[in-house]
Structure 1
Amino acid sequence: MAEKKIAILYVDDEENNLFSFKSVFRIKYQVYTALSGEEALKIMAEKPIEIIITDQRMPNMTGVEFLEQVIGKFPDPMRILLTGYTDMNAVVDAVNKGKIFHYLTKPWNEQELDDTIAQAYAIYLQKQKLKEENEQLGTSNDQLEFLLRQRLLS
């Protein structure tokens, strides 16, 4: 059986960057691309995305604004901000508002980006496991409460 590919959404208003990313990573990952935050949100509504990589400077919606919307609708994917500008305010906003996992600068280094994706995915898997365990604990807690009520009523 083939190993499941990590689903990555790369958002950038520069089409050449999307082509470059897809050509480098399409064999290893399931790559989705979007030219805007709006387009990316539509993709996320249809596809299960595990890692989001977004450019910061885009028209209509910055990367941070996009990630803020993502958190409200799709809290699970790991978020990476990629930008060609070293704007400290954007970095602070990305961490505080966009709750990013990592910040990388353009032009990206293939190995560094690949390593960052691997680290983000490992944390994604841990978070999913904890989420499942928490749901199981909630179910067990509900069952114990029910049994306790039964005993108290009898």
Structure 2
Amino acid sequence: MITEKDLKNIQVIYVDDEVSNLTAFKSGFRRFYSVETFLSAQEALDWLEHHEAHVVISDQRMPNMLGTEFLGILYDKYPDTVRMLLTGYADIKAVIDAINVGHVFRYITKPWHEHDIRTAIESAYEMYRLKRENAELLQKLKRINEQLEFMYRQSILS
């Protein structure tokens, strides 16, 4: 369960080439989450070189890079980041590419509804958190396994 404190710590990035969409998104969601907005995928990638994001939402149709391309790059570089595609166009190729290339968690249509976006962001963050928890548990299990193997070898040698 996500607490109120957790909500403000959720780092959300929204990428769209339309300033009005960025402004609306930031003003609508900054009271719930930590929000960064970018006019291009490259700006977001540059920011991600030095910062962590839990949830990345991208518009599909942008001038220099499609949202699916951007999300595919994110998947390769930051696989734990949960990716969502937001578009105003019903484009079946974009949906297929979003799944196959960008490994998106959700496909959302414009105009968005605040409740739907909030539900999607919080579900995405929960997925991010669980991925991280699972990775930590896997590391602990590996260390325990190594210790058990060492103890077993010691008992055989004694």
Which band: TM-score by shorter chain?
A: over 0.9
- Deviation of 1:92 (Å): 0.6
Q: Which amino acid aligns with 2:76?
A: G
Q: Deviations over 1:92-140 (max 9, x none)?
A: 1101111101000111111111111111112222222111111111111
Do residues 134 (structure 1) and 138 (structure 2) align?
yes
Task: Name the SS for the 2:90 alignment partner.
Answer: coil
Q: Which residue is 1:125 aligned to?
A: 129
Task: Name the SS for the 2:21 alignment partner.
Answer: helix
Do residues 77 (structure 1) and 81 (structure 2) align?
yes
Task: Name the SS for the 1:134 alignment partner.
Answer: helix
Q: Which residue is 2:45 aligned to?
A: 41
Q: Which residue is 2:54 aligned to?
A: 50
Distance 1:148 1:32 in 2: 51
Q: Which residue is 1:109 aligned to?
A: 113
**Structure 1: 5+ residue runs without aligned partners?**
none
Distance 1:63 1:140 in 2: 42
**Structure 2: 5+ residue runs without aligned partners?**
none
- Deviation of 1:19 (Å): 0.7
Q: Which residue is 1:25 aligned to?
A: 29
Q: Which residue is 1:3 aligned to?
A: 5
Percent of residue pairs bearing the same amino acid type? 48
TM-score (norm 1): 0.93
- Deviation of 1:71 (Å): 1.1
TM-score (norm 2): 0.91
What is the aligned-residue RMSD (CA, Å)? Answer: 1.4
Residue-pair matches, total: 153
